[in-house]
Amino acid sequence: MQTMASEAIQVGPVTIRFRVEAEESAGSVTMFEFDAPGGIALPAAHSHDGYEETVYGLEGVLTWTIEGRQVAVGPGDVLVIPRGAVHNFANHGETDARSLAVVTPGILGPAYFRETAEILNAAAAAGTPPDFVALGEVMARHGLTCAA
């Protein structure tokens, strides 16, 4: 089965492109690539109770913080983020990084990133901080819990 084409979803400085959506896998998995430019620290620390996330490094190096422990993920490295583990990532280098994320089961989809982008873009256009309550609601609706 060939996967459906995916648009690039821009969430702040990070670009996400879904490669497998839940409908294509009967809900068993979703998969997306994401690009993180050098010098960023995103997203806010969070966890997800309904799925695991496995990250495979493609280009550059991302430093993941999982339950307070830092792990560098570069090309060919694999990181499994268990359910409930508080985590986030940063690109401390000057080189852009690209990774592939696999979510099992396929609970997390493009809607989460589109809704998050909408809130962040509105704040950027208004020159104000993002609506953190609205972001928390989006996270909760899509199975994420903000740790901040």
CA 35 centroid distance within chain: 10
What span, in angstroms and rounded, lies between the C-alpha atoms of 20 and 33?
10
Q: What is the pLDDT of residues 57-97, one digit of tens each?
A: 999 999 999 999 999 999 999 999 999 999 999 999 999 99
Domains recognised in the chain with CATH numbers: 8-146 (2.60.120.10)
What span, in angstroms and rounded, lies between the C-alpha atoms of 7 and 10?
9
How much is the pLDDT for 6? 74
pLDDT in tens, the chain (148 residues): 455 557 899 998 999 999 999 999 999 999 999 999 999 987 689 999 999 999 999 999 999 999 999 999 999 999 999 999 999 999 999 999 999 999 999 999 999 999 999 999 999 999 999 999 999 999 999 999 998 7
What span, in angstroms and rounded, lies between the C-alpha atoms of 69 and 63?
10
